[in-house]
Structure 1
Amino acid sequence: MFEKILMIVIFFAVTVAIGLYCRKNASNVGDFVLGGRNVGPWVTAFAYGTSYFSSVVFVGYAGQFGWNFGVAATWIGIGNALIGSLLAWVVMGRRTRIMTKHFESATMPDFFAKRYDCSWLKTVSSVIIFIFLVPYSASVYKGLSGLFSMAFGIDFVYCVIGIALLTGIYVVVGGYMAAALNDLFQGFIMLGGIVMVVLTVLNGQGGFSRALEQLSQVPVEAVPEMNGALTSFFGPDPMGLLGVVILTSLGTWGLPQMVHKFYTIKNEKAIYTGTIISTLFALVIAGGSYFMGAFGRLYYTPGQDGKVIFDSIVPQMLGDCLPDILIGVVMILVLSASMSTLSSLVIASSSTFTLDFIKGIWIKDMKAKTQVAMIKVLCGFFIVLSVLIALNPNNLITSLMSLSWGALAGSFLGPFIYGLFWKGTTKLGVWASFITGIGINVVNLLSPFTAPTSAGALSMIVSLLIVPLVSLITPKLSKNHIQETFSCYDEKIPVSHKFALDEVSE
């Protein structure tokens, strides 16, 4: 027990120290929210990767989908690396940095307002972000606190409150750079930790071959006629697996806290290096987490009523096979993953609501210092809301995250992607995506017609389809506005902005 406590104390001390160190670089809105658009490749890549993966993936998703799909769940991690990281950086990285800098946009709602010449888009999208990032944050607290309860025997409620306080301290004090530097520090811990955990889980069953052999003999209730379903190439439910891959991979393209990382890129080298680092990071972290979760059936036993509590699978698995020192490593691993995600959620939500809703509607002449103060206050408010939802024992981690990702990416994916590339996108096309993205996920929440992950994936696909369909039959934006918008790609630096960023940020 002493070793675990010591490791946690050291981790907390380093985290807070980084926040205090970055305090002097968080005095204005640009620095607090964007890090001065001067963030290097390693920090940007790790900020992207650690914001992507948290206790939601390691505890909730790895447990539930490892149980449902077996070894095939590893495809989710591969999809996260190739689609959610590699393609996202290649397709969106440079263009996002160029156009948001051209508009001087610090948030996604402000980008929508300026790109589509409609201030109401900023107002509505800022409210959507604030509302639907809360359940995602709650799911992170829930997953993290469940592991803390297992490791230390501390009441779940105190775990949630303690972690929330720590998040609030270093984000409110240090802003984006504190979060980004902590992401770099925490990312290296995550890489080493996941490798040790996967090896230990396999060794607990006699090694990889023996564990795979045992898993192949476990029957799956949904397909009793399929022998070895949990070790098959696409698992017992290929379509369900595809839905999860789409939700967790394509979703990053429309999530404000993920896209925000591209706003801060320093130069062209940062894009090239960041693409490689974030892809490899995702492959190790996501691939390792889902692969580990596949062996949950060898450790977890359902209750007498046969009910499986998915959020308990990974904590029980780790509690059974890891010695105290490695449980301490796991706690640091999950803390690292979760704290980085929470910080990006808090900053994205509070900055958006301050700049795009409060300042945009109520206090248009808000001074810079007041803006920073308001963002910090809303950081605390957002954390409190998340904690209250996390304390509800009936809320499943995967359901909370799926609702959040589905509603946000289902609303913003099409408008953001087409906004970067297609001159023909109209504001009514954007509104249509907002309506369907929220509508599909909220209707499924109130009157379920499919799994939350499938509803989220469906809303993203609909967003990509409905934006161009509505845009083709609705009034276009003015030619002058379109010409001004896309002129940023033709600025010479000395090569066209279509091909490179400035070597030195202004």
Structure 2
Amino acid sequence: MINTAELITFGVYFVFLMIVGVYFYRKTDNIEDYLLGGRGMGKWVTALSAQASDMSGWLLMGLPGAVLVAGISQSWIAIGLFIGTMLNWILIAKRLRVYTAQTDSLTLPSFFESRFRDPSGLLRILGAIITLFFFTIYASSGLVGAGLLFESMFAIPYTTAVLAGGLVIVLYTFLGGFLAVCYSDLFQGALMLVAVTIVPILAYFSVGGSEAISAAMVANEISGSIIPAGPLPIIAIISTAAWGLGYFGQPHILARFMSIGKLKDVSKSTTIAGVWVVLSLGFAIVIGIVGIGMFPELAADDSERVFILMIREIFNPWIGGILLAAILSAIMSTIDSQLLVSSSSLTEDFYLKILNKEASKKELFFVGRLSVVAISLIAMVLAMNPRSNILGLVSYAWGGFGAAFGPLIIMSLFSRKTTWQSALAGMLTGTIVLVLWEQLGWGAHMYEIVPGFLANILVMIGVNHFLPQQDEAILSEFDMHIAATRQ
């Protein structure tokens, strides 16, 4: 049965997003504005946009659902993500902003090509293929979340729900580009933080406190220990916490670093992001724990709906509608970023690099917008299975970017010796190892990002030993980048 109050709330929210898209449509004049906001983003927008685009629907659906089913041991995901977030901001943000501006790069693949002076063009082309492949999977996970949300709220068919959510996201991303995405993320990140903190606190008291939750955990045989069950808990901890490795290779997060306006704002953005991620991840775990006591009969297949059910249980429809919009915020703030980065790769790394090297800025602008639509359609098709697991889809895509790009980002910013040959060998090795590991079913024992990441970086170190960087222009540019980050 459709709830009128929730429907009106969501309608107002959609209108707001359309206004944002139209507003920034008028302020977006060229491809750099459309893809990176003219590299002029402020500290608050950069921080909240980076974190909102990072966490996606899995923060309010996937992670609480995993905790509800498997217990507190799933908290290692959050611990790993917090460590990865902070290391990414502290080690990568400033250096990547300087170096991508220095090389005039709008995408990670174009940065890799320029940074290493790749004469073959393979770094850029392969990087673009990897970006499109994993982001299409990633975006489909968000559309699954949108489908589950709309299906639960408005009693409409799942496929219709996916199409409705996808249409709204495509429209404001298509219109306003990076500026619309970032400023809508600023609002969405704030709304997510409010919802993820208020709901579990009130639900905790509503369910009867820790005694009721403990009793439900015992009844459902759910462990209250942070140490995973099984013969090799240390392997399980490493596998779960290894999510943090993925941060170094996520294009939609790294794009925020590339867009920040002033280097002095990086440290302030780091603090803002750190506070946001601690609160968000911590309370997402609490949602799952409280959900055990509030919904002891909830099946594992429906566990990712726990936050939706919790809101409807304790809030009136008007307040509940606003809080449920936070779930949509989490979903949209990631998908819009993924669509934009995928559009960047199609425009800069395929169309301009291969199809039309003489394309005008106006033509690239048009191709960028058209790419958003094309990628969205593919992602919608992949999201049509209502039994898809959000956390599973995110896990694979997240691991793919971490294994393929993470070591390259680290080596490109911290190693003078790295060559295009080692970068290409590492990218290929990391991707192949990750895919094979997952296909062979070994991911059940160790998250595939671990072997993929390690294989990538070890191959790069090995190739660098035999083929060290000797190009004086590249070495000089690297030294300039280091000097600029120290100012």
TM-score range, shorter chain: over 0.9
Give the deviation of 1:311 after TM superposition. 3.8
Rounded to whole Å, the distance in 2 between the matches of 1:287 and 1:470 is 41
* Aligned with residue 469 of structure 2, among 462, 477, 492: 477
Q: 1:126 to 1:452 in 2, by over 3 A?
A: farther
TM-score, normalised to structure 2's length? Answer: 0.92
Rounded to whole Å, the distance in 1 between the matches of 2:368 and 2:445 is 31
Give the deviation of 1:182 after TM superposition. 0.3
User: Is residue 289 of structure 2 the alignment partner of residue 294 of structure 1?
Assistant: yes
Deviations 1:237-296 (CA, angstroms, capped at 9, x unpaired): 64334322212x221111111111110111133201100111111111122112212344
TM-score, normalised to structure 1's length? Answer: 0.89
Contact 2:96–2:413 under 8 Å retained in 1: yes
Rounded to whole Å, the distance in 2 between the matches of 1:485 and 1:174 is 34
User: Is residue 246 of structure 2 the alignment partner of residue 251 of structure 1?
Assistant: yes
User: Is residue 187 of structure 2 the alignment partner of residue 200 of structure 1?
Assistant: no
3-state DSSP of counterpart to 1:202: helix
- Structure 1 window deviating more from structure 2 (316-325 vs 70-79): it is 316-325
1:105 aligns with: 105
Q: 1:445 to 1:417 in 2, by over 3 A?
A: same
Rounded to whole Å, the distance in 2 between the matches of 1:451 and 1:61 is 17
2:45 alignment partner AA: V
Deviations 1:85-116 (CA, angstroms, capped at 9, x unpaired): 22211101110011111100010000110111
1:134 aligns with: 136
Unaligned segments of structure 1, at least 5 residues: 221-228, 491-495, 501-506
Rounded to whole Å, the distance in 1 between the matches of 2:181 and 2:157 is 27
Contact 1:132–1:404 under 8 Å retained in 2: yes
Contact 1:190–1:336 under 8 Å retained in 2: yes
RMSD between aligned residues = 2.2
Contact 1:72–1:234 under 8 Å retained in 2: yes
Rounded to whole Å, the distance in 2 between the matches of 1:435 and 1:154 is 43
Rounded to whole Å, the distance in 2 between the matches of 1:71 and 1:322 is 26
2:388 alignment partner AA: N
Q: How many aligned positions are there?
A: 479
2:354 alignment partner AA: I
Q: Spell out the pairing of 1:185-334 with structure 2 (5 A cutoff).
A: 185-207=187-209, 209-218=210-219, 220=221, 230-236=223-229, 238=233, 239-247=235-243, 249-298=244-293, 299-301=295-297, 308-316=301-309, 318-320=311-313, 322-334=315-327
Rounded to whole Å, the distance in 1 between the matches of 2:404 and 2:127 is 9
2:480 aligns with: 488
* Aligned with residue 5 of structure 1, among 4, 7, 32: 7
Give the deviation of 1:202 after TM superposition. 1.6
- Structure 1 window deviating more from structure 2 (234-243 vs 195-204): it is 234-243
Give the deviation of 1:66 after TM superposition. 4.0
Rounded to whole Å, the distance in 2 between the matches of 1:342 and 1:107 is 17
3-state DSSP of counterpart to 2:226: coil
2:50 aligns with: 48
Contact 1:215–1:295 under 8 Å retained in 2: no
2:161 aligns with: 159
1:224 aligns with: none
2:78 alignment partner AA: G
Deviations 1:121-145 (CA, angstroms, capped at 9, x unpaired): 0011111101110011001110122
Rounded to whole Å, the distance in 2 between the matches of 1:439 and 1:165 is 34
1:449 alignment partner AA: W
Identity, in percent, stands at 25
Give the deviation of 1:337 after TM superposition. 1.1
Rounded to whole Å, the distance in 2 between the matches of 1:216 and 1:235 is 15
Give the deviation of 1:481 after TM superposition. 3.2
User: Is residue 485 of structure 2 the alignment partner of residue 498 of structure 1?
Assistant: yes
Give the deviation of 1:315 after TM superposition. 4.3
Rounded to whole Å, the distance in 2 between the matches of 1:464 and 1:51 is 26
3-state DSSP of counterpart to 1:159: helix
Q: 1:232 to 1:129 in 2, by over 3 A?
A: same
Contact 1:200–1:322 under 8 Å retained in 2: no
Contact 2:173–2:181 under 8 Å retained in 1: yes
2:159 alignment partner AA: V
1:223 aligns with: none
Rounded to whole Å, the distance in 2 between the matches of 1:453 and 1:166 is 37
Contact 1:149–1:156 under 8 Å retained in 2: yes
Unaligned segments of structure 2, at least 5 residues: none
2:409 aligns with: 416
Contact 2:173–2:180 under 8 Å retained in 1: yes
3-state DSSP of counterpart to 1:54: helix
3-state DSSP of counterpart to 2:484: coil
- Structure 1 window deviating more from structure 2 (364-373 vs 83-92): it is 83-92
Q: 1:117 to 1:400 in 2, by over 3 A?
A: same
3-state DSSP of counterpart to 1:477: coil
Rounded to whole Å, the distance in 1 between the matches of 2:76 and 2:439 is 30
* Aligned with residue 178 of structure 2, among 176, 179, 195: 176
Give the deviation of 1:212 after TM superposition. 4.3
Contact 2:248–2:407 under 8 Å retained in 1: no
Contact 1:194–1:289 under 8 Å retained in 2: yes
Rounded to whole Å, the distance in 1 between the matches of 2:445 and 2:349 is 29
1:77 aligns with: 78
* Aligned with residue 120 of structure 1, among 115, 119, 122: 122
Contact 2:112–2:123 under 8 Å retained in 1: yes
Rounded to whole Å, the distance in 2 between the matches of 1:467 and 1:296 is 45
Deviations 1:476-504 (CA, angstroms, capped at 9, x unpaired): 333313323213236xxxxx42323xxxx
Q: 1:146 to 1:450 in 2, by over 3 A?
A: same
1:403 alignment partner AA: Y
